[in-house]
Amino acid sequence: MKQRTWPGTSDGSRFTSLPFSKPYDKEKRSRFSIRATAKSSSSSSPLVSNEVSDGGGDFSMLPFDILMKIAAPLSLPNLQAASSVCKSWRDALQPLRESMVLLRWGKRFKHGRGGVRANLEKALDSFLKAAARGSTLAMVDAGLVYWEKGEKEKAVGLYRRAAELNDPVGQCNLGISYLQVQPSNPKEAMKWLKQSAENGYVRAQYQLALCLHQGRVVQANLPEATRWYLKAAEGGYVRAMYNISLCYSVGEGIPQNRKLARKWMKRAADHGHSKAQFEHGIALFSEGAMLKSVLYLELAERGGETAASHVKEVVQQRLSATSRAHGLS
């Protein structure tokens, strides 16, 4: 989807906004690592014995809702590690391990992978079965399918289930959903975006920064916006790299710093941001680095920046003139 500019092309603003069309997850999830190994039966630790600390049963006897809050957001490797601690853990976590198989099949049906044809209904069925077994990853994927089908209430319900189990992607998608549904719910949106951002999810950090920068759903707070832009940029979110560069360039919400502005603009350009490639190419041209300038302008042109084509031609003419002058000297 083509990026929109915010607040609009008429005012000359270069800050870009993530379209609020549908919540989705393109970023890699980060998960807490569980490094638990089974110890001998003589160990007194409640984590590796079959008894809980109060002596009233074992891990598998915990209420299912409590168990889900502990383990639902785990990725498959961490789930396998937790299952290996002892028999009670293995038995209690069996539904979540089953959910991972169903989740895998759901993704195959959704994208037509692994030798199966794409079938959205079968994908949704697999996601829902996995979600019923407690997988927050499946809740988010099922929510995405419902959102794409226009059944937004069902999508929001699944996002909320994942969010309440502390899944940062579910929290982010829930927050964005509350901005999109009618009527919108800015208070709930900001609550979940902030919670996801504080859990380290870079897309939520960027989206939270946009809300604070734009002042659409909450009062604008530029210093706080730039703080979240910077966190998201440091976490590898490319749009945040571009926006924090603009903030440093003009001193908006943060002290002006041309060196840091240039650093983040180049980093965004090197990560494929077409507007950053265009602006970095112009900066290189102004410094006389014409060959490098042509390279970035070419990339920007391929990325859809039509203005880069004219600038590239000017730079190439300068290069030709320089080459001719060297040839005659």
Reported as a single tens digit per residue, the pLDDT across 95-108 is 999 999 999 999 99
Whether the per-residue pLDDT at 144 is higher than 70: the answer is yes
- pLDDT greater at residue 77 or residue 29: 77
The structure tokens listed for 73 are 């957001």
For the segment 9-37, the average pLDDT, to the nearest whole number, is 44
Cα atoms in the Cβ-side hemisphere of radius 13 Å centred on 248: 19
Given a contact cutoff of 8 angstroms between Cβ atoms, the answer to whether 205 and 228 are in contact is yes
CA distance 244 to 266: 12
pLDDT at 322: 65
Across 66-75, 246-255, 284-293, least confident range: 66-75
SS3 4: strand
Range 142-175 burial, b when 16+ CB lie within 10 A, else e: bbbbbbeeeebebbbebbbbbbbbbbbbbbbbbb
The structure tokens listed for 140 are 């988010």
SS3 17: strand
> In which element (H, E) is residue 16 found?
strand 16-17
Whether the per-residue pLDDT at 289 is higher than 60: the answer is yes
- The pLDDT tens digits for 165-189 are 999 999 999 999 999 998 999 999 9
CA distance 96 to 110: 21
Whether the per-residue pLDDT at 56 is higher than 80: the answer is no
Q: Kind of pairing, strands 16-17 and 4-5?
A: antiparallel
Whether the per-residue pLDDT at 55 is higher than 70: the answer is no
- The pLDDT tens digits for 1-14 are 444 433 333 344 55
For the segment 244-250, the average pLDDT, to the nearest whole number, is 97
- pLDDT greater at residue 105 or residue 59: 105
Whether the per-residue pLDDT at 57 is higher than 80: the answer is no
pLDDT at 44: 36
pLDDT at 185: 94
Whether the per-residue pLDDT at 308 is higher than 90: the answer is yes
Instruction: Write the CATH number of the domain with boundaries 93-158.
Output: 1.25.40
pLDDT at 58: 57
pLDDT at 23: 57
SS3 34: coil
Whether the per-residue pLDDT at 43 is higher than 80: the answer is no
Range 12-35 burial, b when 16+ CB lie within 10 A, else e: eeebbbbebebbbbebeeebeebe
pLDDT at 54: 41
Alpha helices by DSSP H, the chain: 64-71, 76-83, 87-92, 94-111, 120-132, 136-148, 152-164, 168-180, 186-198, 202-214, 222-234, 238-250, 258-270, 274-286, 290-302, 307-328
Residue ranges covered by each domain of the chain = 93-158, 275-321
- The pLDDT tens digits for 195-227 are 999 999 999 999 999 999 999 788 999 999 999
CA distance 169 to 31: 11
Question: Which DSSP category does 54 fall into?
Answer: T
CA distance 115 to 134: 27
pLDDT at 132: 96
- pLDDT greater at residue 264 or residue 13: 264
pLDDT at 16: 52
